[in-house]
């Protein structure tokens, strides 16, 4: 738990520290013809937001301490590499995002998109840290349990699509995030070998606990929506 909390703090401090201090004049779009053809789908925000609890999935599945430490290392390297690239090569999302004024905030999904746009700095795009962390989480879980890992990888596919349909990332951002995850998997997770007889996964209780966290995450967001009456928190 301490390692997970430390990495979370590193991510939050670094992500917003870089994103809120980027010179907008240095940021450039990475749009392609494919980006223009991808439709905006407000409801896909629920898949997009699923990344945040998914990042913690190894905490509920991976029982082997050696594998968990490798996962933490892969996360730290993904975050650190991305922060350097965010600062050196800022990419702007303002030209990609839909006009927040056009969103109907009386409905939950458009409200969540507007909240996402409000909170997320529009410059931390390439590579997509959203996708790289999702892939590393799935790879870690795959090492602990092939069955659960297969489900985790299946969930990554719609997450990869959602970063584009929510208009938070360009296609090249997604490609960069996937490439970064592949490199870090090869460097950090690929060489992991379990010790004979060593328990690797927590089993059903871990999945039940994760499902509870997932439910509470969305329930809390819905409570904020109801309490605010469709207003976006400042």
pLDDT block averages, 10 residues each, the chain of length 234: 86 94 91 94 94 91 94 97 96 91 93 94 94 96 94 93 96 97 97 84 90 93 87 68
What gap in Å lies between CA 143 and CA 148, rounded to an integer?
10
Note the pLDDT of residue 234: 59
In this prediction, residue 51 carries a pLDDT of 84
* pLDDT score at 118: 93
Give the residue from 98, 128, 115, 120 showing the smallest Cα distance to 20: 120
| All structural domains of the chain with their residue ranges | 42-194
Kindly give, in sequence order, each residue whose CB lies less than 8 Å from that of residue 141, ignoring residues fewer than 6 positions away: 57, 58, 61, 62, 148, 149, 152
pLDDT at 216: 93
How far apart are the C-alpha atoms of 74 and 155, rounded to whole Å? 20
pLDDT value for 231: 74
Radius of gyration of the chain (CA): 18
Sequence-ordered list of residues with C-beta below 8 angstroms from that of 168, at least 6 positions apart, any chain? 48, 93, 96, 97, 116, 120, 125, 130
């Amino acid at each position: 738990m301490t390692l997970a909390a430390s990495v979370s703090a590193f991510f939050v401090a670094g992500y917003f520290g870089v994103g809120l201090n980027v010179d907008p004049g240095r940021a450039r779009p990475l749009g392609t013809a494919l980006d223009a053809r991808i439709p905006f789908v407000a409801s896909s925000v629920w898949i997009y937001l699923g990344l945040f609890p998914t990042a913690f999935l190894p905490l509920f599945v991976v029982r082997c301490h050696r594998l968990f430490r490798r996962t933490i290392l892969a996360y730290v390297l993904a975050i650190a590499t991305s922060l350097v690239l965010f600062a050196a090569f800022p990419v702007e999302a303002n030209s990609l995002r839909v006009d927040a004024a056009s969103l109907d905030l009386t409905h939950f999904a458009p409200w969540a998109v507007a909240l996402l746009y409000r909170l997320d700095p529009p410059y931390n795009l390439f590579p997509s840290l959203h996708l790289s962390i999702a892939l590393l989480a799935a790879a870690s879980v795959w090492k602990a349990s092939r069955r659960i890992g297969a489900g985790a990888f299946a969930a990554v596919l719609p997450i990869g699509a959602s970063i584009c349909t929510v208009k938070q990332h360009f296609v090249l951002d997604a490609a960069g995030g996937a490439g970064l995850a592949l490199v870090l998997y090869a460097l950090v997770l690929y060489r992991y070998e379990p010790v004979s007889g060593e328990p690797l996964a927590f089993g059903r209780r871990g999945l039940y606990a994760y499902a509870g966290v997932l439910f509470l995450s969305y329930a809390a967001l819905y409570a904020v929506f109801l309490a605010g009456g469709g207003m976006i928190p400042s």
